[in-house]
Amino acid sequence: MADLSLDLCGVKLKNPIIAASGTFGFGREYGRFYDLSELGGICCKGLTLCRREGNPPPRIAETPMGILNSVGLQNPGVESFIENDLPWLLTKNVAVIANITGTSVEQYVQMAERLAGTGVHLLEMNISCPNVHEGGVAFGVKPESVYAITKAVKAAAKQPLIVKLTPNVSDITENALAAEEAGANAISMINTLTGIAVDTNKRKMVLANNTGGLSGPAVRPVALRMVWQSAKKVHIPIIGMGGIETGEDAAAFMLCGAKAVMVGTANFTDPFACPRIIRELDAYCDRQNVRSAQELVGTLEENG
């Protein structure tokens, strides 16, 4: 068996497989299927200061090799999370990542301050949600605003800060660099690619919000390319995600430069996806004669 463990911004993870925000709730449902302590980490559903109902339905559309979602950050609010979900999660012996979002820089700062004294291990700042009309991706498109919000939240955060980047830009590496220069401890990429679904019989948009974010294996080649490009520019850890379904998919992200990975949409079709991917990554390392999975990071051989 390979050593899958790693140090992510000072937090010890048993393995590099983290359940991605928005696909795992706060862990309770999956905790009925397997022991959550098997995971490297759990990234909770995006939290806001107050409870949100999210967007009206329909807000999910299946696509070939993926789904479009326009959930709109439905969540119970940070206070409910701290009171009802976090104490339970902290008994599970797994790194807990709180994904935070807001409609102003001040709200993001308040979220970081509110979570500072809690047992949350890492913060993931979501400046890449394409499904809300205020905030979300608005902070994540231009390098100047990525820099400004990262600087402000980093000053308030007590936990290491991961900045989650959007792929809906011309050059994601500019935003990766802006986050690093502003003091981010890590970046995660990619959030979803904006798309639409068309009901041709009704001649109507499928999603009530018109647009949604595409995830699943269809986006994997794009995500791999963006991780590979960003890893050449930044020195902070990259957490890769986008359509990971197998241990070899996870390994591909690590070869491109990701220190850890997040598994999202695969949880919907296979509730056992994360523990299976951990086993498959282990088997891959054995086949490759790799003793520590971290030896894979950034070792992709390029052509020409």
Active-site residue list:
129
Question: Binding ligand SIN by CB under 6 A: which of 126, 175, 188, 265?
Answer: 126
Q: Which two tokens stand for residue 246?
A: 């197998």
Question: Binding ligand SIN by CB under 6 A: which of 71, 177, 278, 281?
Answer: 71
Which is nearer to ligand SIN, 73 or 281 (by Cβ)?
A: 73
* Separation CA 177–CA 291 (nearest Å): 31
Size of the site for ligand SIN (CB under 6 A): 13
Q: Is 267 in the site for ligand SIN (CB under 6 A)?
A: no
Q: Which two tokens stand for residue 29?
A: 């449902």
Least separation in angstroms between CB 107 and ligand SIN: 15
Least separation in angstroms between CB 164 and ligand SIN: 7
Q: Is 22 in the site for ligand SIN (CB under 6 A)?
A: yes
155: DSSP letter: H
* Separation CA 159–CA 161 (nearest Å): 6
Q: Is 131 in the site for ligand SIN (CB under 6 A)?
A: yes
Task: Estimate the crossing angle of helix 172-181 against helix 143-156, to 10 degrees.
Answer: 30
Closest-by-Cβ residue to ligand SIN is: 129
* Separation CA 43–CA 13 (nearest Å): 13
Question: Binding ligand SIN by CB under 6 A: which of 48, 175, 191, 267?
Answer: 191
CA separation (Å) from 58 to 33, 54, 134, 231? 28, 11, 20, 37
Backbone angles phi, psi at 276, to 5 degrees: -65, -45
**x-or-dash pattern for ligand SIN, window 226-245, by CB under 6 A?**
--------------------
Please name which of 174, 209, 168 lies closest in space to residue 192, comparing C-alpha atoms: 168
How many other CB atoms sit within 10 Å of the CB of residue 183? 16
Least separation in angstroms between CB 45 and ligand SIN: 8
Site of interaction with ligand SIN (CB under 6 A): 22, 46, 69, 71-73, 126, 128-129, 131, 191-192, 213
